C-alpha cells in the first residue's frame, strides 16, 4: 500500500508541476469558472463539445496542488469522451474522494483519477479535488452563466 501511495503522490506532484491542457484550446464553445473560496482555488475551464462528445478541454488559473492536479488529470482523462462517460466518472470520483462505502470497487478502473483516493482522509480538500469537475458539469449541463466564446 505504501508503494501505491507513493505512486499516487507522484501523479499529483507531476500534474501540479506540469499541468496537462493548461491553456485555452484553439476552438471552444463552452466556458466556465470555478472558484473555491475556502482554499483560493480559481480556474477558468474551456471545452469544445460536439454533439455528445467533449472533443477538447483546457483550463487556466491557479490554486493548490490538489485542485490543479485534479483539473489536469480530469482534462486528459475526459478528452474525447462522451457526456455520459463524464457523468459516470464524476459520480465515481465524488464517491471516491468522499470515501463513501462501496466506492472502492470502481477505483481500479479509474486510472490516474485513483491518485485522489487519499483526499477522502482530508475532508477539507474534497472541494479542491472536485472543483474542476463541478465546473465542467455545469458547463455540460448548459447552465445560464456559461457563455459561448464563439
Ligand atoms: Zn485547494
Contact at 8 Å (CB) between 133 and 69? no
| Domains observed in the chain | 2-146 (3.90.1010.10)
For residue 50, which phi and psi values (nearest 5 degrees)?
A: -120, 110
- Separation of 9 CA from ligand 1 center, angstroms? 16
- Separation of 67 CA from ligand 1 center, angstroms? 5
3-state helix, strand, coil in the chain (%, to 5): 55, 20, 25
Give the model confidence (pLDDT) of 114-139 as tens digits: 999 999 999 999 999 999 999 999 99
CB neighbours (10 Å) of residue 81? Answer: 16
* pTM of the shown model: 0.90
- Separation of 1 CA from ligand 1 center, angstroms? 25
Give the model confidence (pLDDT) of 2-17 as tens digits: 677 787 899 999 999 9
Amino acid at each position: 500500500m505504501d508503494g501505491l501511495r507513493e505512486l499516487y503522490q507522484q501523479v499529483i506532484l507531476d500534474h501540479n508541476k506540469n499541468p496537462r491542457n493548461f491553456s485555452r484550446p484553439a476552438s471552444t464553445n463552452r466556458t466556465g469558472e470555478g472558484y473555491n473560496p475556502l482554499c483560493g482555488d480559481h480556474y477558468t475551464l474551456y471545452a469544445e463539445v460536439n454533439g455528445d462528445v467533449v472533443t477538447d478541454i483546457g483550463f487556466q488559473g491557479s490554486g493548490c496542488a490538489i485542485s490543479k492536479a485534479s483539473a489536469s488529470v480530469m482534462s486528459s482523462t475526459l478528452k474525447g469522451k462522451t457526456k455520459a462517460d463524464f457523468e459516470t466518472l464524476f459520480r465515481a470520483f465524488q464517491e471516491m474522494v468522499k470515501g463513501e462505502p462501496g466506492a472502492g470497487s470502481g477505483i481500479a478502473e479509474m486510472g490516474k483519477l485513483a491518485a485522489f483516493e487519499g483526499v477522502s482522509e482530508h475532508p477539507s480538500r474534497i472541494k479542491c479535488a472536485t472543483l474542476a469537475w463541478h465546473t465542467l458539469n455545469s458547463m455540460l449541463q448548459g447552465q445560464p452563466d456559461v457563455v459561448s466564446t464563439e
